[in-house]
Amino acid sequence: MTTCRVVIVISVFYALFVDAEGLCDDITTTIDLPSSSKTRYKCSGKRIANRIGTSPPGNCTKSTHPPIHVCTSEKITYNESVPSSGAHRLEWAAYGEYDYCPPQRWIHNLEHGGVVFLYHPCAPEVEVDRLKFLARSCLRRHIITPHLNMTKEMVPLALVTWGCVYTMSHVNFTLSSAWIREHALQAPEAAVSLDGQYRHWLIQKASEVNGSNDKDEVLCPNSDGFLQRFLATRKQNEIVTNTPRTTTTNFYWGIGVLIFLFLSIVFALLFCRRQLGYPRSAREHRAVFTKDSQFSVDSGQVALLSSRTENVSNNDDDDSDTTD
């Protein structure tokens, strides 16, 4: 009986203190996803026209919502279209690019000093590429994800830090990198640089930025050359992307040509066999053989009759000579 009590006490202690976080947030729960299909977070309509211009200033609220941890069994909602603080899950997201990462996860990343790079699913592709390049060139602690509540008409892009939102219609590398230097790592738990455990729909994990370290002590290093490096990277990606397509196209063209040549040869052989009289089956072989044999017999008979006719003619000539 005493042993059973000890086991019960240990189990309760483990559940309440040791594994409390696991019971509250199992990491794999997708309760915060508006849809379980990845296509929900892709552009299904017409893309937004590219509006190149000066980005509006970032909006930093003077008061933030308290960073409360809420278990996955409870729903979290936000009043702002782009929240920058407030309640969130216990486990923050692993830094990197996602097919979709819910704000209930990345707000915890903001609390740790990270920067979230948001874009509307139908934002101009070139601007989304610029946004991703900016994130990977400025700091390791970044989250890149589409956001369904972005304003589609004018500001389909945004940079988010703890308590600050910087909406954009166009990625200006100079203004954006300056804004990140000013507001990144300005958060209640910025000293926590560890990666998160949530990895649902993670595409590419973030890596240390060249010129900085894993704690992002140098933000946006070498930002003066962002545009040149972006153009070179984009050109290289286009070459890599287009090469397999060209190779695949040539492969299928080659297969098509071989099939065409093979069929042409087959039809040519069949045509020649028919023209030359070669039988295509045993039945046709017998028919042709019978026909040829009959033709040979008839030819012999004709030759024999011709020989007899010539003999009779000769005899008639001889008789005529004798009578004379």
Q: Are residues 105 and 124 in the same domain?
A: yes
User: Has residue 184 been placed in a domain?
Assistant: yes
Asked if pLDDT for residue 183 goes beyond 50, the answer is: yes
Asked if pLDDT for residue 180 goes beyond 90, the answer is: yes
Task: Determine if residue 97 is left, alpha or beta; phi over 0 gives left, psi from -120 to 50 gives alpha, anything else beta.
Answer: beta
Asked if pLDDT for residue 226 goes beyond 70, the answer is: yes
pLDDT digits (tens, 9 = 90+) for 16-37: 343 455 689 988 877 899 888 8
User: Has residue 93 been placed in a domain?
Assistant: yes
Q: Are residues 236 and 212 in the same domain?
A: no
- Is residue 83 within 8 Å of 107, Cβ to Cβ? yes
User: Has residue 128 been placed in a domain?
Assistant: yes
Q: Single out the residue in 203, 221, 239 at which a domain terminates.
A: 221
Q: Are residues 60 and 153 in the same domain?
A: yes
Whole-number pLDDT of residue 53: 65
**Average pLDDT of 258-277?**
79
User: Has residue 107 been placed in a domain?
Assistant: yes
DSSP 217: -
**267/271 Cα distance (integer angstroms):** 6
Biggest CA pair distance of the chain: 159
Whole-number pLDDT of residue 99: 96
pLDDT digits (tens, 9 = 90+) for 100-114: 999 999 999 999 999
| pLDDT band with cut points at 50, 70 and 90 for residue 247 | very low
Q: Are residues 177 and 242 in the same domain?
A: no
| pLDDT band with cut points at 50, 70 and 90 for residue 98 | very high
Of 144, 128, 97, 133, give the one whose Cα is nearest residue 236.
133
Whole-number pLDDT of residue 61: 83
Q: Are residues 168 and 96 in the same domain?
A: yes
Whole-number pLDDT of residue 29: 77
User: Has residue 307 been placed in a domain?
Assistant: no
User: Has residue 151 been placed in a domain?
Assistant: yes
The whole domain housing 254 covers: 226-298
% of the chain with per-residue pLDDT over 70:
70
Token pair belonging to 195:
């990666």
Whole-number pLDDT of residue 83: 95
Q: Are residues 156 and 201 in the same domain?
A: yes
Those residues with Cβ within 8 angstroms of residue 221's Cβ, 6 or more apart along the chain or in another chain: 209, 210, 211, 212
Q: Are residues 182 and 239 in the same domain?
A: no
Those residues with Cβ within 8 angstroms of residue 162's Cβ, 6 or more apart along the chain or in another chain: 64, 84, 85, 110, 111, 113, 186, 187, 188
Q: Are residues 158 and 89 in the same domain?
A: yes
**208/214 Cα distance (integer angstroms):** 5
What are the C-alpha distances in Å from 313 to residues 167, 192, 321?
Answer: 121, 129, 13
% of the chain with per-residue pLDDT over 90:
48
Q: Which of 53-57, 143-147, 287-291 has the lowest mean pLDDT?
A: 287-291
**Average pLDDT of 236-240?**
65
Q: Are residues 282 and 143 in the same domain?
A: no
| Count of structural domains, the chain | 2
| pLDDT band with cut points at 50, 70 and 90 for residue 152 | low
Asked if pLDDT for residue 185 goes beyond 80, the answer is: yes
Asked if pLDDT for residue 89 goes beyond 90, the answer is: yes
Written as one letter, the residue type at 16 is L
Q: Which residues pair with 96 in a beta bridge?
A: 143, 205
Residue in this structure with the two tokens 């990977």, named with its chain if needed: 136
| pLDDT band with cut points at 50, 70 and 90 for residue 274 | low
Q: Are residues 142 and 175 in the same domain?
A: yes
More confident position, 108 or 168:
108
**Average pLDDT of 58-63?**
82
| pLDDT band with cut points at 50, 70 and 90 for residue 302 | very low
Token pair belonging to 320:
């005529």
Asked if pLDDT for residue 149 goes beyond 50, the answer is: yes
User: Has residue 41 been placed in a domain?
Assistant: yes
Asked if pLDDT for residue 266 goes beyond 80, the answer is: yes
| pLDDT band with cut points at 50, 70 and 90 for residue 284 | low
User: Has residue 13 been placed in a domain?
Assistant: no
Whole-number pLDDT of residue 55: 64
